[in-house]
Structure 1
Amino acid sequence: MKISFLLHNAYGIGGTIRSTFNLASALAARHTVEIVSLMRTAESPSLPLHDAVTIVPLIERRAGARGSDARDPGLSRPTAHVPAAEANGTKNFNALTDERVAAYLAATDADAVIATRPGLVIYLAEFGSDRYLRIGQEHRLHGTHKPDIRAACDAAIPRLDAFTSVSEADAATHRAKLPGIDTRLVGIPNAVPATPVEPSDGSAKLVVAAGRLIPVKRYDLLVDAWSTVAARHPEWRLRLYGRGPQQAALRKQIDALGLAGHITLMGAHSPIETEWAKGSIAAVTSREESFGMTIVEAMHCGVPVLATDCPHGPGEIITDGEDGLLVPNGDRDAIAAGLLRLIEDDELRRTMGRAARTAAQRYAPERVAATYERLLVELYEQRGTAPADRRPPRAPRQPLATTLKSAVKQLIRRQPPLRPVASCRADAEGNLTVLVEPAGLHGSDLELTVTRRGHGDRIRLPLRRPDAVQGADGPWTAVLDRAALSRAEGGTPFAEGRWDLHVVRPGDRARRRVVSRYAEGRGLVTLEPLPGAPFAWWVPYPTVDGYLAVRAWHRPAHAEARDVHATAEELTVEGTLHGGATRLGEGAVAVATPRKGADGPVTAPVTLLADGRFRFTLPYKEFQGRGVWDLSLREGAQDPAEPIRVARLIGDIVDRNKTDLYPLAGGFRPYFTTASNLAITTAAAG
C-alpha cells in the first residue's frame, strides 16, 4: 500500500511529529510511505526518519529558499474551512493552506491518507476522496479542544473511514459522543521505539521529568512536592527538562521554596533518552495526558515512572506497583509519598525499572504499525476492494560482463566520502567509548582524532572494526582512557577546553567531523575523580549544530562546590578537595577577588572537614562596591602559589552557567561562569 501522513510541520520536534515519524518508519519496511508536510521551515527534519520515507512539503516558508512561498498573499488571508482557534489567525491555517491541501488530496495516488491534527482532519473530510481510505488521528483528548475546534472535528469525523485515539479510554469517549456513525472509532497507542542508550541502573540519586513547561503538566505540583522529598533526602536531586511559558514562574517558585540547589531547570534536550537513563525515577504529574510518550520513553530506559492517574494515558501504560506507581491526580502529598517510597526502597526501584523495560515493548513501532495494517485491511475488506500492489519491482539481473565491468570501475573509482555518525558513552570508570555507525565509514585503517578547539592539540586513536559477535552492522569503536589521558601517559594530556571529534582516512587524507547520535553521560552522574592524580574531568555533548564534542577540565588542584547556600547576609559553600588541593592546611582561606576596580579581595577562613571536605562562609558586608568576584582557595592570605579555583565540574552537565542558577539575595547572587567556576555578582553587575 501507499500510505500518506498529513503533518502540519514535519521539521519541528513535537510529540505528534515524533510519533508519526516512528510509525511511518516502521510502516516503510512493508509499504510505500510519504509524509506530506503542510509547511517547510528547515532544510531537513530535526528528528530521525527512515530513509525510505519521502517528505513532501506543500508550502515553503523559508524566505530565501528556492521556490519560496513566503510572500504569497494567500498566507495572510484567512482560511475558509478551519476554525479560528485552530488557524491561530493565519499562522497555522490560511487561504494558501486551503488551496495546497485541496490540490494534494485531489491528485494523490495514496491508498490511505492519515491526518494528524484537527485542521488536517477537517481538510481530509472536506477535500478527501473515496479513492483512498481517509483516517483521522486524535493526539490529545476529546474534551480538551476549544468548542469551535471540537464542533468542527465532530462534524468531520463521520465523513472519514476511521478515526483513532491514542488511548482506548478516549476512543470510548468518542464513541459515546458520536453514536450511530459508520466511522470506525478505535484506540491505537503511539509508537515509541526502544533506544540503544545504555539503560539506567537505578543507582543515581536523581529524579527526572521532561515535557513542555505548560500548566497542564502541573510541574508546580511536582516542585511543591519536592520540598517534602528534599527535607527527608537532601542528597537527591530533581531535574526538569523542557521549555515553555511557565519557566519563569517555576524558577520563581523554586527560589521561593529555597530549592535552588535541589531542583534544576535543564532546558530542552534532544534526544531525551540519554537524560531518562541518567535518572533512577521519572515523574509525570500532568492534569491530563492523551497518551504519555515520555512515560514509555522513560520505561524503555529502565526507569520506573511515578505518574498521576489522570485521563487517560498513564493508567493504560503503567501497571501500578509492578512497573511504576500511579497516584491520585492533583494530590501533592501523594506525589511526595510515591517519590519517597521509590527513593527509600532500592530493590523495589530496580525491580520496577526492569519490569518497565519489558512493558515498554508493547509500544514498539513494529507492533503499532501491524495494528494500523490490520485496520487498513479491514477497512478495504468492508469496501469489498483491495489496495494496489505497490511492492517495488525486482531489478533485472545484469549480464555477467556488465557486472564485472561495474566491479572494476568500483575498484578504481575514488573511495566514497566519509559521513561519520557516532555515539559517545561514558562508562562506570569514566572512560569514553566512541561508537561510530558503519554506514558512514568507507575504507580501512581509519582513525579517530580528538582536537582541542582553538589550540590544535590532537589525540589520535585507531578505530577498531566490529568483531564477529557484533557483525558487519556493529559500530567501529575507539576508547578514550580516562586514567591514561588524565596523567598524559604516552603523549598529549586531555587539556582544559572543548574538543572536536573527526574520522580520518589516512589513505587519501579524508577528514570529516563526527555527527552526534547520542552523547551518553549516565556513567558520569555518580562518578568521582581519580585519586592521587591531577584533577581531570570530561563530558561528551552534542554541539548546537549537531556534532559530537567533549568538554574537558584539567587542573593541578580543584575545589568542587558541592553545596552552595546563599542568604541575604552571606554565602556558604561546602565542597570537596581534589588533586593538589589536598595540600591545604589549617591556615587555608577562601578568597573573593574582584575582577575590576581597586577594591581588595575579601577573605574568610576555610574549615577543613573529614574525607577531603571543606566549608567557608563569606559575609556580604565585607564586599565593597559593585561588580563580580571570583572565588578560590589559598594556603594562606599571603600564599604566592596559584590559587585553587572553586568550581562545579563533577557530574554530567557541560554548562553549569545555564542550569545551576541561584536567586538574588541581599543584592548579591552566586553564579557559575562559562568555565563552571564559582563567582559572586551584584545586582548592578548582572
Structure 2
Amino acid sequence: MKIRYLMLHAYGMGGTIRTVVNQANAMAAAGHEVELVSLVRRREMPQFRLDPRITVTTLVDQRTGRLPDSIGRRAWRRVRGKIVPRGEFAADYFTERVEWAAMEYVSGLRDGILVTTRPALNLIAARRTPRNVIKVAQEHMNLSAYPDTIRREIARHYHRFDAICVLTGTNRLEYQRLLPGTPIVQIPNAVHKVEQERSQQVNPVVIAAGRLVPQKGFDLLIAAFAQVVPEHPEWRLRVFGTGPRKGQLAGLIEQYGLGEHVELPGRTERMERELTDASVYALSSRFEGLPMVMIEAMTHALPVVAFDCPTGPKDVLTDGVDGVLVPPRDVDALAAALNRVIADRELRLRMGEAAVVTSRAYGPGVVMPLWERLFSELSEDRRAVRNHWSAR
C-alpha cells in the first residue's frame, strides 16, 4: 500500500508528532510505501527517529524564516478561499503561503491513502483531495475541546472521509453524535515500547511533562504541590517541557516559595531515564486527547495522579487500581491525592504493577496491526468499510 502522512511540522516535538512518526515507522517496517509530508520545516533534523525507508517531503521550508505573503495576514483571514478557520490551535502556522501549499499538495494526489493529523489539515484534505484517494482523518483531541468555529466546520466537511480515527471510546461517541453515518474508528496511539525499566519507588520525585501551555495545567499542579511540601518536604516536582508559559510558571514557583522543591528543566533527551528515576506521575491537564506521556510513565511502573479531565485519563486509568482520578481543576483534591500516594510506598508499588499491565494495551504490537487492517480494508472495499463502521 502507498500511505502518505501529512503533518504540520514533522521536524518538531510533541505527542502527536511522536505517535504519527511511530505509525509511519511501523507501516514502513511492514513493507508499505510510506511518505511523511511536513507542511512546514523549521529544523535541520527530525527530533524522532525515522525509518530510512520513509520518504520525507517538505512543502514550505522555513529554516531561514517565514517568507512574506502576497496579501498579508490580516487580509488573508478574510479571503473567500481560505479553509482553516479561526480557533484552530495551530492557526498561526497557516499563512497564505502555507495554506496554499497544503491545498496544492492534496489536490495533486491521484492514488494511495492520505492520512491527515489535525483539524486544519483534515479540513483541507476533505475539501480538496480527489475522490480516488482514500482519505483518513486522525483526531488527536476530543471534540469538546474545540471552539464552535472548528466544530461547525467538522460537522460540515468530515463526512467526506473514508474513516475518522479517534483515540478513545468517549471521543468516538462524540463524533458519532455529530456525524451519523460516517465511519468513526477508535484506535489508540501506541507507546514506543512497553518493556521498560521500572521505577523502584526509592526517589522522592513527582514527574510531569508536556508543553508549557495552559492546556497542561501546570499552574494548577504547582499550586497543588505547594500543599504537598509542608507534609513531605523531601519530595520534589520536576516538570519537563518548553513553551510560552515558562516565565509565568517560574513566577508561580517563586510566589509559593518552591524554589527548592519544583524544577522546570526544559526538554530532555533522556525521558525514559527520568521516568524510571521518579516515583509518581502527575497529570494536571485541563483537557486532553489521549495523554501519551502518562501511558509511557505507566510502562515504567509509575502510579498516576490525574485530573479526570475530558478526555483520556478516565479512558485509560481505573481509579484506585493503577492511579488516582480527582475532579477536574480541583487543586485541593489533586494535592490530597498526591499526599496519599506519596505517603504510602506499598500503594505506589501495587499501583505501579497494575499500571504496567494497563499500558500493554497501548504497545505497538497491539495498536499497529489495527492501522494496517483498517488501511487494507479501505483499499479493498471503501463502501463495505463505510457500512460496517457506520452501523456499529
Aligned-partner Cα distance in 2 for 1:156–1:343 = 48
1:643-662 equivalent positions in 2, closer than 5 A: none
Equivalent residue letter for 1:298: A
The one-letter code of the counterpart of 1:313 is G
SS at match of 1:231: coil
Q: State which of 79, 82, 89 in structure 2 corresponds to 1:80.
A: 82
User: Cα offset for 1:230?
Assistant: 1.2
Q: Report if the CA contact (8 A) 1:74-1:94 is conserved.
A: no
Instruction: Output the CA distance in 2 between the equivalents of 1:106 and 1:63.
Output: 27
Residues in 1 aligned to 2:107 and 2:243: alpha-carbon distance in whole angstroms: 38
Within 5 Å, which residues of 2 pair with 1:48-127? 48-63=49-64, 70=67, 73=70, 78=76, 80-86=82-88, 91-108=92-109, 110-127=111-128
TM alignment of 1:507-522, pairs within 5 A: none
SS in 2 for 1:86: coil
The residue matched to 2:88 in structure 1 has which SS?
helix
**Residue 228 (structure 2) pairs with residue 229 (structure 1):** yes
1:232 counterpart SS class: coil
Tell me how far apart the structure 2 counterparts of residues 232 and 252 of structure 1 sit (CA, whole Å): 23
Q: CA deviation at 1:4?
A: 0.7
Secondary structure class of the residue paired with 1:249: helix
In the alignment, the residues of structure 2 paired with residue 116 and residue 88 of structure 1 have an alpha-carbon distance, to the nearest angstrom, of 12
Partner Cα distance (1:117, 1:297) in 2:
22
Cα distance in 2 between the residues matched to 1:361 and 1:197: 11
Judging changes above 3 Å, is the alpha-carbon distance between structure 1 residues 265 and 96 closer, same or farther for their aligned structure 2 residues?
A: closer
- 3-state SS in 2 of match to 1:201: coil
Q: What SS does the corresponding residue of 2:263 show, helix, strand or coil?
A: strand
AA matched with 1:184 = P
Q: Deviations over 1:99-121 (max 9, x none)?
A: 43333324435421111011111
Work out whether 1:280 is the aligned partner of 2:282: no
For the structure 1 residues 7 and 343, does the alpha-carbon distance in structure 2 shift closer, same or farther, using more than 3 Å as the test?
same
- CA deviations on 1:126-176 (whole Å, 9 max, x unpaired) are 111222210111111212222222222221201111111222201111111
Name stretches of at least 5 consecutive residues in structure 2 with no aligned partner. Answer: 386-392
Deviation readout 1:529-563 (Å, 9 max, x if unpaired): xxxxxxxxxxxxxxxxxxxxxxxxxxxxxxxxxxx
Letter of the 2:202 partner, please give it: S
Q: Report 1 or 2 for greater relative contact order, CA contacts < 8 Å, sequence distance ≥ 6.
A: 2
Counterpart residue identity of residue 2, structure 2:
K
- Structure 2 counterpart of 1:123, one-letter code: I
CA contact (8 A) 2:116 2:122 kept: yes
Task: Give the Cα–Cα distance (whole angstroms) in 1 for the partners of residues 82 and 296 of structure 2.
Answer: 39
Distance 1:75 1:34 in 2: 32
Q: Give the equivalent residue in structure 2 for 1:389.
A: none
Q: Return the structure number with greater strand share.
A: 1
Letter in 1 for 2:84: V
More deviation in 104-113 or 213-222?
104-113
Shift of 1:363: 1.1
Superposed CA deviations along residues 321-343 of structure 1, whole A, max 9, x for unmatched, are 22222222222222122212221
CA contact (8 A) 2:118 2:139 kept: yes
Structure-2 residue corresponding to 1:358: 357
Task: Write the letter of the residue equivalent to 1:118.
Answer: P
**Partner secondary structure for residue 204 of structure 1:** coil
In structure 2, distance between residues paired with 1:7 and 1:166: 17
Which residue type is aligned with residue 25 of structure 1? Answer: N
Instruction: Name 1:26's counterpart in structure 2.
Output: 26
Report the Cα distance in structure 1 between the residues aligned to 2:64 and 2:247, rounded to whole angstroms: 32
User: What is residue 575 of structure 1 aligned with on the other side?
Assistant: none
Query: What SS does the aligned partner of 2:29 have?
Result: coil
Give the Cα–Cα distance (whole angstroms) in 1 for the partners of residues 189 and 89 of structure 2: 25
1:83 is aligned with what amino acid? P
CA separation of 1:280 and 1:142: change in aligned 2, threshold 3 A: same
The aligned residue for residue 187 of structure 2 is 188
C-alpha separation between the residues in 2 aligned to 1:203 and 1:36?
A: 44
- Which residue of the partner structure matches residue 262 of structure 1? 261
User: Residue 168 of structure 1 contacts residue 186 of structure 1 at CA under 8 Å; is this kept in 2?
Assistant: no
The gaps in structure 1 that reach 5 residues or longer are 387-686
Shift of 1:72: 6.9
Map Cα deviations across residues 582-601 of structure 1 (whole Å, 9 max, x no partner): xxxxxxxxxxxxxxxxxxxx
Q: Does 1:289 align with 2:288?
A: yes
Give the superposition deviation at 1:98.
Answer: 4.1
State the one-letter code of the partner of 1:116.
T
- 1-side partners of 2:240 and 2:49: how far apart? 20
1:504-653 map, 5 Å = none
Instruction: Look up the equivalent residue of 2:141 and give its one-letter code.
Output: R
Structure 1 equivalent of residue 388 of structure 2: none
Q: Secondary structure at the match of 1:164?
A: strand
Letter in 2 for 1:257: Y
User: 2:12 maps to what in 1?
Assistant: 12
Give the 3-state SS of the residue equivalent to 2:11 in structure 1: coil
Question: How does 1:429-444 map onto structure 2 within 5 Å?
Answer: none
Distance 2:218 2:114 in 1: 37
Cα distance, 1:284 vs structure 2? 0.4
Q: Kindly indicate whether the alpha-carbon contact (under 8 Å) linking 1:27 and 1:366 is maintained by their aligned counterparts in 2.
A: no
Aligned partner of residue 240 in structure 1, secondary structure: strand
List per-residue Cα deviations over 1:213-261 (Å, max 9, x = no partner): 2222222222222222211111111111122333233222222222221
Deviations 1:1-23 (A, max 9, x none): 11111101111112211110111
Distance 1:83 1:237, change over 3 A: same
How far apart in 1 are the matches of 2:332 and 2:289?
24
Q: What amino acid is the match of 1:161?
A: D
Cα distance in 1 for residues equivalent to 2:194 and 2:265: 21
Shift of 1:295: 0.7
Cα distance in 1 for partners of 2:384, 2:72 equals: 39
CA distance in 1, matches of 2:72, 2:274: 39
**Quick check: 2:286–2:329 contact (8 Å CA) kept in 1?**
yes
1:40-72: CA deviation from partner (whole Å, max 9, x where unpaired): 2222211122222221111222339xxxx8467
Mapped to 1, the partners of 2:7 and 2:297 lie a distance apart of 25
Give the Cα–Cα distance (whole angstroms) in 2 for the partners of residues 294 and 5 of structure 1: 22
Taking a change above 3 Å as real, the CA distance of residues 254 and 142 of structure 1, as seen in their structure-2 partners, is same
> Are residues 219 and 75 of structure 1, via their aligned partners in 2, closer, same or farther at CA, if it must alter by over 3 Å?
same
The 5 A counterparts of 1:322-361 are 322-361=321-360
Q: How many percent of aligned residue pairs carry the same amino acid?
A: 38
Separation in structure 2 between the aligned mates of residue 219 and residue 84 of structure 1, nearest angstrom: 26
User: What stretches of structure 1 move > 4 A for 4+ residues in a row?
Assistant: 71-77
Question: 1:211 — aligned with what?
Answer: 210
**1:112 is matched by which residue type in structure 2?**
I
Q: Name the CA shift for 1:235/1:88 in 2 (closer, same or farther; >3 Å).
A: closer
**Alpha-carbon contact 1:241-1:268 (below 8 Å) kept:** yes
Q: 1:138 to 1:165 in 2, by over 3 A?
A: same
Match of 1:146 in 2: 147
The one-letter amino acid paired with 1:105 is V
Q: Does 1:3 align with 2:24?
A: no
Task: Map 1:306-321 onto structure 2 (within 5 A).
Answer: 306-321=305-320
Greater fraction of residues in helix: 2
Distance 1:148 1:347, change over 3 A: same
Change (3 A) 1:35 1:271: farther
Query: Normalising by the residue count of structure 1, what TM-score does the alignment of the two structures yield?
Result: 0.52
Counterparts in 2 of 1:214 and 1:43: CA distance versus 1, 3 Å: closer
What secondary structure, in the 3-state scheme, does the structure 2 residue paired with 1:27 have? helix
Letter of the 2:88 counterpart: E
